[in-house]
Each structure stands twice: as C-alpha cells, then as structure tokens.
Homo-oligomer: A and B are copies of this chain.
C-alpha cells in the first residue's frame, strides 16, 4: 500500500478541494535509555516553521499523539486557508 493512500486520506466532499492540506508526522522510536520527551516542544516549533511559509490558523490545526511499544507518533493535520 503506497504511503499516499495512508497520508491525507481522500476528502469526503469536493467543496474543500480548493483548500490546501498539510500533514506532518513525527515518529520517534526511543532507544532503551529513554531520554527526554521533546515532542511537545518540537510540535510548537514545527508549527512556527510552517508559519514562515504559509499562514496557519490555530483552529485549523489538529494534533494527535499516539504511543505504542517504545514508539511515539505526533501527527499534525493542517488545513490551509484559500488564496
């Protein structure tokens, strides 16, 4: 299965076809020594970097964090404004 079909799953309605979407996924496989949890700060800074290129409304950002067997995944889904 190509990663495309996994990322940015097809939209339900065509109305939002004109909208640009951006998805950022950070997957961290922690070593046995653990180490600091920097994903929350990384999340904030990644958004600041994206804002240098495109305007991002805070309510247009959907954040998801998953943890499973030594792996943490941060997922940012951003709907960008039109025009």
Contact = CB atoms under 8 A, between A and B. Distances in A.
A76 B55 CA distance: 23
Given A42-B53, A45-B52, A30 B20 contact: yes
Dominant secondary structure of chain A at its interface with chain B? mixed
Interface string A21-32: 111111111111
Q: Determine how many copies of this chain the complex contains.
A: 2
A83 B35 CA distance: 9
A54 interface: yes
Interface of A: 1-4, 6-8, 17-33, 35-36, 38, 41-42, 45-46, 49-50, 52-54, 66, 68-69, 71, 73, 75, 80, 82-83
